[in-house]
Structure 1
Amino acid sequence: MKTGTFRSFDKAELFYREWEPTQEANGKVVLLLHRGHEHSERLDSIARSSIFAGYKIFSYDNRGHGYTKEGATYEFMNLVRDLDAFVRFVCEKEHITQEAIFVVANSVAGVVASTWVHDFAPKIAGMALVAPAFKIKLYVPLAKPALALMLHFKEGLNITSYVKAKFLTHNAEEQKRYNTDPLITPNIPAKQLVTLLDTAQRVVEDASLIVTPTLVLSATADYVVESSVQKIFYDKLSSPLKRFVVLEGFYHGVLYEQNAQIALDAIGAFMREAFAAPKVSLKEHLIKITQLEKDTIAKGEIPFLQNCSFAFQRFMLHRFGRLSEGMSIGLRYGFDSGVTLDYIYKNTPNGQGALGKIIDKNYLNSIGWKGIRQRKVNAIATIREKIEHLRAQGEKVRILDIAGGPARYLIELAREYPDIEVLVRDYQEQNIEQGRALAKEFSLKNIRYEQADAFDKQTYENRSYQPNIVIISGVFELFEDNALIQNAIDGVTSMMPKGSFLVYTGQPWHPQLEQIAYVLGNHQQKQWIMRRRSQYELDTLFAQSGFEKNSMKIDDWGIFTVSVATLTCKDA
C-alpha cells in the first residue's frame, strides 16, 4: 500500500491510499469509499480481499476525516465534487478512462456516489452502494429543521454522532477496533448533515435518470438508516444492469459484519458482470421520462390545492409584481429573456418604494435565480480557464456565444482580456441593443453583437469567423425538441476548428418546474414549460457530434451544470 495526496476541485489537499493487485493485473480500478466518521485505513482489510485480487484499489479520506484535515465545515456537494476530482486524478495517474473504474461506496459515501452518477453522468463501469444513507434515522423529533434553524446562527456547528460500534456490527473484534481507532471522527458538521439529507431526497426522487449499473446492498437490522428508502431508489433506477441484495440480520456496518463475505461475494460477482456488460445508449429512454414529466405539467394535472396556490401567485404577480423591477422586466420581456437574466445577474433589489424593494429582494433570492447566479460564476471560471489555456499555447482567443443576451459576463471578460475577440449572438433585438450599449459604455472594441437565430443553420454559414471557445448557455432547456437544438450543435461544429472548446450549460433538475410553468411567462408570452435534460442525455448529444467532455461544475442544489468539452473529431 502506498499513500499520497491529491488536489481537489478547490485546491484542497486530500489524503489517499492505493493498493497494488495481489495477482496478475486486469487493468481495472476499484474505488473504495469509506462511510461517515471513518477513513481509508479502515478499508485496508477489505482492499486485500480476494475478490479484488486482480484490481488496483484506491481510496481517500474525506474532508475532516483521517489524515485529511482540511474542510471541517462544508456543503455535502463538496464531497461529490471531491469524488469527481479523485476519479479524474486516478484516470490521469493510471492512464485509464472512466470505463475502467468500479466504485464501492458505504453509507454516506453511497449517497455521494449516487449523486455523482446522477449529476455528473460519468462513464464508469458500475457501482455498489453498501447500506446507502439516503434517509438517516434521526431519533430526536424535528431534528433536521432544528439543525437548519441553528445553522442560521452558527454556520460552523458540529454535532456528536449517536452511533455506537455495537450498533454497526455484531463482530466484537470489529467493535473494539472502531472504539480504539484514534482517527475515527465522532463529530458531524451540521451543515453537511442537513445538506446531505436534502441532496439524498433529490437523488432518490430523480433516480430514474441514473443509468449506471448499480448494486444495492440493504441491511435488514440497520439502526442508522432507513432501509426501505434504498428499495425505492433501486426500483426507480433506469440502469440496464441492477441488483438488490437483502442482507438478513446485518447491521449498518455491512463490510465489518461477521458474515461480511456474503456482501463481498455479491460485490465481486456484480463487478465482474458490470465490466463485461455491453454499453448501450439510454438517451431515448431518458428523453421519454422527462418528456412525460413535461407533458404532465402542460396538461395541468396537479392537485387542486396546488393549483389554487399557483392561481393566487399569478394574481399577486400581475397585481403587485410591477412594484418589483425584476418582476416588471419579466412581465414585459419574459422571465426567460436575456434582459431578465441580466437583471438577475446584477442582483441589486430595486422597485417602487420600500415594499417594491422587499418584493424584489424575495424574488431575486428564489432558489432558481440563486442557481442562475452560481451558473454564471461557474461559467466565468470555466471560460477563464480555457482563455488562459489558449493564451499559454500562444493562440488568439476567439469566443462565440450563440444566444448570449446582453452577455454582461462576457463584457467583464472582454475588459479583463483586451487581446481576446468576442462575438455575441441573440435572437431578441432588445438583448442586442442592451449589449451594444454596454460595450459602448466601456469603450470596448473587442466585443461585438449580431442578431441571429441560434437554431437556424443558415446563421452558421459564414465561416470567416472560427471561434476556439463556443458558449451555449441557458438556451437548450427552453426547448424540448432535440432535432431543433441539433441545428445549433451542427452549426457550431461547422465553425469550430478541431481541438477547440465548447462550454455548455445544463439543467438536469429543478425544484420549481411546476411553479415556473403555472406562474411565470416566457419571452413569447406563453407558459414557460421546460423539458429538462439529464446530464447523460446532454453529454450524449454532444458526444455524437464529436465532443469529448473534460470537466463539469455544478451548484450546491444540483440545478445547473457548466461543462466543457473538446472537439476531438469532425466530419469533413
Structure 2
Amino acid sequence: MNVKRPATEHTFTSHDGQVIFYRNWAATTQQPADRVIVLLHRGHEHSGRIEHIVNELKMDDTAFFAWDVRGCGRTEGPRGYAPSFMTWVQDLDVFVQHINNQHAVPVENIVVIAQSVGAVIAATWVHDYAPKIKALILASPAFSVDLIVPGAKQGIALYQKFFGEFFVKSYVKGKQLTHDPERVKSYHTDPLVALPIASNVLLDLYAVSDRIISDAGAIITPTQILISGADAVVRDKPQHQFFDGLSSVIKEKHVLNGFFHDTLGEFDRKIPFALIRKFINKVESDATKIDLLNADKKGYTYNEYQKLLKPKASSFWNEISFSLTRTSMSLIGKRASKGVKIGVETGFDSGSSLDYVYLNKAQGLGFYKAIGLGKLIDRGYLDSIGWQGIRIRKQNLEKLIGKYIAVLHDKNIEVRIMDIASGHGRYILDAIVPHREKVSSVLLRDYSDINVKAGSEMIAERELTDFAEFKNADAFYEEGIASVNPKPSIAVVSGVYELFSDNHLLKASLSGLNKAIVTGGYLIYTNQPWHPQVELIARTLNNHQGKGRWVMRRRTQAEMDQLVANAGFEKIEQLQDQWGIFTVSVARKL
C-alpha cells in the first residue's frame, strides 16, 4: 500500500501579477536524487487530482511540484479562462524560474510530466523557450480535441468573432476518462473540477498545436509520448505526427491499448508509470547532447533553408500564388502603399522598412491615395502577421530594456547602453527616454549610412545629444565591438542576426559582445524561431542587400540560446508574441 506523501502549499506571482497556487512534495530519502519532477494536470482539473502520481510513481528520492493552472483549482480567477493559451505557456516559464530561484532547483534537473492540455502547454514551452530540462513526458497530449459535432470549431470561432469570448462546457464524462471507478466518481464530485473553458483558449489550443506539430523538429529535448489507444477525447494522429517530427536523439512513443484519455489516472496506470521510470533512467544514463552551434551547415532549419534557396516554390499552387503576389506588388502595391514602396526600394528587411512598420501609420500614394484605396492597401500591409509581431517585439524590447536599466541602477552599476545594429534606432530610443535620468550613455551603431543619418536626426529631435550618439560600424566585427569604450552594461542586438544564415558571423559578434560588456552586465537579443510566411517572404520580397530575395534561415530558440551560451552568457528571461514568431531574451554575462 502506498504511503501518502505530505505536500506543502505555496503560491507564485506570474508575469502579469496573477497569483498561482502550487503544491510541493519533498523527497523522502536522506539522499535525494539530482532530479525534480514538475507535473501539469489535464484541462478542467487541478494539482490535487494528480497527487496520486507522486505516491504511485515510487520515486521517493525525487521532489515533485504541481500547479493549478490559472482558471483551475485553487488559483483564483474565472473558471477555465486565460487571456490566451500562450499566457499559460508564459506562466509555466515563470513557474520553472520560481522553482529554480526559490527552491534552489537547477533547470537541468527538471523532468516535466504533463497530461492532455497540460501536455500541449509543456510541449509549446519546450519548443518556444528551449529550456534545458532533463526530459519531457507527454501523456495523451490534446493537440486535437474531438468536439464530436462537425464544424464545431468553426462555429465557435464565428460566434466569438461576432459576439465576443464565451465559455464552452466540456461534454466529457468521467467514464470516458478512465476505467478506475473511484476516479470516475471523484471527477463528478470534486468541487474544484471546472467544466467550462473559454472559447479564446480553446481556439488558441488548436492554432498553437498546429504550429508545434508542424515545427516539432525544433525540439531536441529527450521526449516520451504515451498515447491512450482507446482515447475518445482527443485524436491520436497529431500525436504520432508530433513524435515523428521531433529532433530529439532520445525519444520514445508508447501506445497503451485500451487506455482512455486519463492515461496516468487509468486503472492499469502502473504500466505507464513503469515506462516513465525506465525512460528517466535511460535519459540520466545517456549524456548525449545535441550541438546546434553548426546548425547553419546541417540539420532541421538548414534543410528548410536549402529548399527556400531553390528558384521554384514548394508546390505548383504555391508557385502560382507567389507569382500573383509579386505581380500585384509590382503593378499596384508599390504605387499604392508607402510601406510596400519603401520595401521595394530599400529592402523589406531594411532599417527604413522597420521604422515605417514601427510608426504603424497607413499612408497611400498617388492616384490610389486620391480614391482612398492606397491607405487601405497600406493598412493591410502593416497588419500582416509578421509586422504585427515586429511591433510586439518592439514592445517587449522596451519592457526588458527598461527592466534591466532599473536592475543595474538599483545595484549601483552605471547604465551604459550599446546597440550594435540599430536601424534608425526608434525602438532603442523609445525604450530609453522614460528612464533617461538613470542612463549615463547610449551608443547606437549600424553599417548603413542611411540608418546612421536617420538615427542621428532622431537623437537630435529628442534632445538626447548630451548622452547619445550614432556611429557607423559592423555588427559582426569582433574586435570593433570588443574595443568599444566606455564599456556597456547593457548591449542590445535586435533583428540583425535573423538576417544572416552563417553562425560564424554570430560567433564573432557574440564573442565581441562578451568582451565588451562589463561584469554584471546584460545582453538583450532577439530571435525568429518560427514564421508562418517564411516561404511567401522568400519568394516575393527583396532584401536590403540589393535585388536579392529575402530568404531567411530560421534559428530555433535552442540554437540561438546555445550560441549565446557558447559566448559566455547565461539566459535568464524571455518574452515573445502570441504567435511564437519573435522572441526577446536576456542573458547575463558569466
Q: Which runs of 5+ in 1 are unaligned?
A: none
Quickly say closer, same or farther: Cα 1:251–1:414, change in 2 above 3 A: closer
Distance in 2 of aligned mates of 1:381 and 1:335: 25
CA displacement, residues 400-423 of structure 1 (integer Å, 9 cap, x when unaligned): 110011111222233222331111
Q: Deviations over 1:371-406 (max 9, x none)?
A: 111111111111111100011111221111100111
- SS of corresponding position for 2:162: coil
1:21 alignment partner AA: A
Question: Deviation string for 1:447-466 (max 9, x for gaps)?
Answer: 21111121223532534220
The residue aligned with 1:243 is 252
Q: Name whichever of 209-218 and 66-75 sits farther off.
A: 66-75
The runs of at least 4 aligned residues of structure 1 exceeding 3 Å deviation read: 284-287
CA, structure 1 residues 521+19, in 2 after alignment: closer, same or farther (shift >3 Å)?
same
Q: Deviations over 1:301-327 (max 9, x none)?
A: 421111111111111111111211111
**Residues in 1 aligned to 2:542 and 2:582: alpha-carbon distance in whole angstroms:** 20
2:562 alignment counterpart = 540
What residue ranges of structure 2 are gaps of 5+ in the alignment?
Answer: 1-6
Q: Which residue does 2:330 correspond to in 1?
A: 318
- Aligned equivalent of 2:361: 348
Counterpart among 459, 465, 487 of residue 466 in structure 1: 487
Assess, with a 3 A threshold, how the Cα gap between structure 1 residues 461 and 87 changes in structure 2: closer, same or farther. Answer: closer
The CA deviation at 1:255 is: 1.5
The 8 Å contact of residues 402 and 432 in structure 2, kept in 1 or not, is answered as no
TM norm structure 2: 0.94
Partner Cα separation in structure 2 for residue 483 and residue 252 of structure 1: 47
Residue 549 (structure 1) aligned with residue 571 (structure 2): yes
Does the Cα contact within 8 Å between 1:211 and 1:282 map onto a contact in 2? no
Matched residues in 2 for 1:369 and 1:15: separation?
36
Normalization by structure 1: what TM-score? 0.97
Give the alignment partner of residue 367 of structure 1, picking from 377, 385, 394. Answer: 385
Partner of 1:358: 376
| 1:24-52 CA distance string (max 9 Å, x none) | 32242111110000001111222112422
Q: Is 2:445 aligned against 1:425?
A: yes
Shift of 1:191: 0.5
Coordinate RMSD, CA, aligned: 1.4
Superposition deviation, residue 366 in structure 1: 0.6
> In 2, are the aligned partners of 1:125 and 1:274 still within 8 Å (CA)?
yes
Mapping of residues 125-136 of structure 1, within 5 Å: 125-136=134-145
Note if 1:289 corresponds to 2:296. Answer: no
Aligned equivalents of 1:43, 1:70: Cα separation in 2: 21
| Cα deviation digits, residues 262-314 of structure 1 (max 9, x gap) | 11111122122223321423315854211110110111242111111111111
Could you tell me which amino acid in structure 2 is paired with residue 22 of structure 1?
A: T
1:411–1:447 Cα contact (<8 Å) kept = no
The separation in 2 between residues aligned to 1:501 and 1:148, in whole angstroms, is 42
Q: State the partner residue of 2:21.
A: 15
Q: Could you tell me how far apart the structure 2 residues matched to 1:367 and 1:373 are?
A: 10
SS at match of 1:417: helix
Q: Which residue of 1 aligns with 2:420?
A: 402
For structure 1, which segment, 444-453 or 186-195, has the greater mean C-alpha deviation from structure 2 after superposition? Answer: 444-453
Matches within 5 A, 1:94-243: 94-243=103-252
Identity %, equivalent residues: 40
Q: 1:78 to 1:472 in 2, by over 3 A?
A: same
Distance 1:250 1:168 in 2: 9
- What is the match of residue 447 of structure 1? 468
Q: Which amino acid aligns with 2:14?
A: S
Find the partner of 1:263 among 252, 272, 285. 272
Inter-CA distance 286–453: structure 2 relative to 1 (3 Å threshold): closer
Match of 2:541 among 513, 516, 520: 520
Q: Which of 469, 482, 485 is 2:506 aligned to?
A: 485
1:328 is aligned to 2:334? no
Q: Is residue 2:405 matched to residue 1:387?
A: yes
Matched-pair contact (CA < 8 Å) for 2:36–2:110: yes
CA pair 302-281 structure 1, distance change in 2 beyond 3 A: closer
Name the residue aligned to 2:4: none
Instruction: Work out whether residues 423 and 450 of structure 1, in 8 Å CA contact, stay in contact via their aligned partners in 2.
Output: yes
Answer yes or no: is the 8 Å Cα contact 1:219–1:254 preserved in 2: yes
